[in-house]
């Protein structure tokens, strides 16, 4: 299911353009189902949402998971949101790439004066509420906006639409339906696990080694002495005390790497983790 990511300042016309594109697709590609995804459907107050980094992060996570659930090779997902963070647009690019489908970005490019006037007009007509932005929230979002760059693969192909422009529906559809999807790479593909309990064994083995290192450090261990790990023939050697936070960080990194490069023999996990640790704690 091709993905269309809209982005732009608040009140720049993203929802209007999303509806225009939905209507164009319905008229010209009736056989394709169209999914509209936005924070509007989550029934949240925009001022509360964008005044709280924690709430905003949760909403982005919810939008991403909804897009990921809907994506396939045939229909269309339109994400109508600010999408003002380039890192988030990159995450969405990885999602579409992992689903073997195309995507494009539509930037609703309106300047600060235009969106400020639109917001004031909307507030005067409907009163202050969830559909209008408080001035300080609007200014903050404009300041934090990271404009898309067509030289970035996750922002390409990019369609810039100004307030008085017609929506380039034909060009957008050509980008979605007439291009080949980028080939997935190792970071966007789900790797087959070597056994059904692979993740369980991976977590258990690595946590056991972390616990053994912490226990040894509590029992008369001095920096420079080796810490023997019964399940590995390579000892852990460190010239300093290894704090829990650092060991847990190495554990997470090792797990993430091993999930992408699973081994067929789980009895080797302990040995591999110890080797990993000895490389990174020097």
Taking the C-alpha atoms of residue 275 and residue 250, their distance in angstroms, rounded to an integer, is 12
Domain boundaries, the chain: 3-188, 198-280
**Average pLDDT of the residues in 243-255:** 89
Res 94: pLDDT: 85
The Cα 197–Cα 263 span in angstroms is 12
The band of 147, judged by pLDDT with boundaries at 50, 70 and 90, is very high
Average pLDDT over residues 26-47: 86
Listed in order, strand segments (DSSP E) in the chain are: 3-8, 34-38, 76-80, 103-108, 158-161, 226-227, 236-237
The token pair that represents 112 in the structure block: 């600060």
Q: 3-state DSSP call for residue 271?
A: helix
Distance CA 42, CA 199 (A): 33
pLDDT per position as a tens digit, 106-138 = 999 999 999 999 999 988 876 655 568 999 999
Quickly tell me which residue has 């609007």 as its tokens.
Answer: 138
Widest CA span in the chain = 76
∠ CA 213-219-221, rounded to 5°: 70
CATH code for the part of the protein at 3-188: 3.40.50.300
Q: What is the pLDDT of residue 131?
A: 67
């Amino acid at each position: 299911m091709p993905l269309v990511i809209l982005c732009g300042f608040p009140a720049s016309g993203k929802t209007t353009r999303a509806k225009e594109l939905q209507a164009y697709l319905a008229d010209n590609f009736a056989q394709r189902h169209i999914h509209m995804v936005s924070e509007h459907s989550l029934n949240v107050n925009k001022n509360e949402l964008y005044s709280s980094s924690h709430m905003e992060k949760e909403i982005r996570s919810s939008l991403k998971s909804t897009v990921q659930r809907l994506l396939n090779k045939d229909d269309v997902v339109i994400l109508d949101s600010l999408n003002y963070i380039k890192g988030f647009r990159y995450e969405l690019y990885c999602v579409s790439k992992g689903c073997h489908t195309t995507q494009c970005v539509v930037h609703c490019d309106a300047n600060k004066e235009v969106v400020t006037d639109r917001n004031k007009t909307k507030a005067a007509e409907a009163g202050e509420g969830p559909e209008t932005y408080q001035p300080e929230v609007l200014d903050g979002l404009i300041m934090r906006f990271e404009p898309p760059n067509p030289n970035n693969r996750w922002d390409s192909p990019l369609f810039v639409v100004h307030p008085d422009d017609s929506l380039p529906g034909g060009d957008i559809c050509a980008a979605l339906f007439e291009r080949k999807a980028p080939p997935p790479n190792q970071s966007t593909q789900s790797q087959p696990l070597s056994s059904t309990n692979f993740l369980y064994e991976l977590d258990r083995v690595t946590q056991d080694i972390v616990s053994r290192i912490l226990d040894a450090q509590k029992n008369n261990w001095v920096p420079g002495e080796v810490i023997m790990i019964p399940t590995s023939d390579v000892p852990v050697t460190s010239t300093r005390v290894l704090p829990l936070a650092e060991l847990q960080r190495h554990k997470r990194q090792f797990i993430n790497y091993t999930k992408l490069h699973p081994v067929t023999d789980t009895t080797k996990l302990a040995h591999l983790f110890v080797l990993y640790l000895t490389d990174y704690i020097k």
